[in-house]
Amino acid sequence: MDVLETTPAIAQSKLATAQSIPQQPTPKQIHTIAIVGSGPKGFFCLERLLAEFQAAPLQLPLQIHVFNRSPHFGASPVYDPNQPEYIAANLNTALVDSWDAPHPPSVAGRGPSFVDWYHQLKGPPQPLTGEEY
């Protein structure tokens, strides 16, 4: 049999094989995003992504993976009260706010400021002592 010759059975087999192999890549079935670090910036990134996708829904499902070294979501090691004082963040608690971005609106709605949340948790307003920095 010559190399170029073929039988109907071989031709049918080759056609079936060719039809089962995709000629183009299949379309993406899911969007995947990874956020590395779930400190304040990672938390803000997640919140803004969710707000954006709520305002402009995707056509495909969304999968978000969040990677972090510690089990403390929303806080970073710089805020750990057990670390040396020279490394601690020097940020006034009145400046901590996750609700500033007006557009698109937050998925969770606007929550209290950190100071208001602290006072709600601790009872009547107490002066900040510096340990809250």
Contacts for 7 with CB less than 8 Å, ≥ 6 apart: none
Range of the domain at 61: 29-122
What is the greatest pairwise CA distance in the chain? 96
Name the residue with higher pLDDT: 60 or 35: 35
Query: Would you state the pLDDT for residue 33?
Result: 92
Query: Would you state the pLDDT for residue 1?
Result: 44
Tally of structural domains, the chain: 1
Q: In this structure, is residue 37 part of a structural domain?
A: yes
Mean pLDDT (whole number) for 109-130: 72
Name the residue with higher pLDDT: 97 or 74: 74
Chain-centroid distance, C-alpha 24: 30
Structure confidence at residue 60 as a pLDDT band (50, 70, 90): confident
End-to-end, the C-alpha distance of the chain in Å comes to 86
Q: In this structure, is residue 81 part of a structural domain?
A: yes
Distance, CA of 12 to CA of 20 (rounded, Å)? 12
Which of 101, 91, 99 lies closest to 116, judged by CA? 99
